């Protein structure tokens, strides 16, 4: 009897991106995580979103964990992250060390008193607040940051981000979707690589 040829298993890399987004309450931190997760759902990914609030909401600290994966997510609770998006100095102080070696830290330039100190991670900065002022709408600040993140890590296609936005935004705000899309493109254009390990 002839032997059956051994079929080589095709290597398929499973994508999992574990993100912490942190800043002041009122910066759109939690909705950023929601938009990223809804966008992942639109792309057929498994997602997890977990918010965490400081003692005082607006002006206090807020952060959320967003996980996008090709496979089922075992736990939403994390202590180390592939990406940290930090929007204020207290968040930088708290989460800089939580980025996995080789991971990514994106920080908002406005209001930071120091630059990141790590030498074993990729670091990008974005002047999202200044850009939102130029656009005459500081509410799109968080969409500018999402644009910057997706430029560096294009894990979600833009069309799925727009679909995600349609899910997150109440229908009465759907007329703002083109503005949000513009903000994403602005973010993609202004993010700066400060330290690259590649």
- Return the CATH number at 38: 3.40.920.10
Instruction: Output the pLDDT for position 60.
Output: 67
For the packed helices 141-152 and 177-190, what is the interaxial angle rounded to 10 degrees?
Answer: 50
Instruction: Output the pLDDT for position 194.
Output: 95
Residue 38 lies in a domain: yes
Residue 7 lies in a domain: no
**What confidence tens digit (pLDDT) does each residue in 64-117 have?**
999 999 999 988 889 999 999 999 999 999 999 999 999 999 999 998 999 999
> Which residue(s) pair with 86 in the sheet?
22, 107
Which of 162, 180, 157 minimizes the C-alpha distance to 44?
Answer: 157
Instruction: Output the pLDDT for position 61.
Output: 78
**What confidence tens digit (pLDDT) does each residue in 25-34 have?**
888 899 999 9
Contacts of 38 (CB under 8 A, 6+ apart): 47, 163, 164, 165, 167, 168
% residues pLDDT > 90 (the chain): 75
Residue 142 lies in a domain: yes
Residue 2 lies in a domain: no
Residue 27 structural domain: 16-195
Helix and strand tally (H, E) in the chain? 6, 7
Residue 5 lies in a domain: no
For the cut 80, the answer to whether the pLDDT of residue 48 exceeds it is: yes
Q: Band of the pLDDT at 2, cuts 50, 70, 90?
A: low
Report the domain count for the chain.
Answer: 1
Q: Band of the pLDDT at 6, cuts 50, 70, 90?
A: low
Residue 8 lies in a domain: no
Residue 115 lies in a domain: yes
Task: Give the strand pairing for 61-69 and 81-86.
Answer: unpaired
Two tokens at 107?
């920080």
Instruction: Output the pLDDT for position 152.
Output: 97
**What confidence tens digit (pLDDT) does each residue in 141-162 have?**
999 999 999 999 999 999 999 9
Residue 185 lies in a domain: yes
CA distances (Å), origin 62, targets 22, 25, 84, 145:
6, 5, 13, 16
């Amino acid at each position: 009897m002839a032997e059956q040829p051994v079929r080589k298993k095709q290597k398929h890399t499973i994508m999992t991106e574990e993100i912490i987004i942190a800043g002041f309450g009122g910066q759109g931190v939690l909705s950023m995580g929601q938009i990223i997760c809804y966008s992942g759902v639109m792309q057929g990914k498994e997602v997890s979103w977990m918010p965490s609030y400081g003692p005082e909401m607006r002006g206090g600290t807020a952060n959320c964990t967003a996980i996008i994966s090709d496979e089922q997510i075992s736990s939403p609770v994390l202590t180390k992250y592939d990406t940290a998006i930090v929007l204020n100095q207290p968040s930088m102080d708290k989460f800089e060390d939580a980025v996995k070696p080789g991971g990514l830290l994106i920080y908002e330039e406005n209001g930071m008193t120091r630059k990141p100190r790590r030498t074993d991670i990729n670091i990008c900065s974005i002047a999202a607040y200044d850009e939102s002022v130029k656009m005459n709408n500081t509410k799109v600040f968080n969409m500018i940051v999402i644009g910057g993140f997706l430029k560096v890590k294009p894990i979600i296609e833009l069309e799925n981000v727009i679909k995600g936005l349609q899910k997150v935004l109440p229908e009465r705000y759907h007329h703002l979707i083109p503005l949000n899309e513009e903000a994403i493109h602005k973010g993609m254009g202004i993010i700066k690589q400060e330290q690259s390990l590649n």
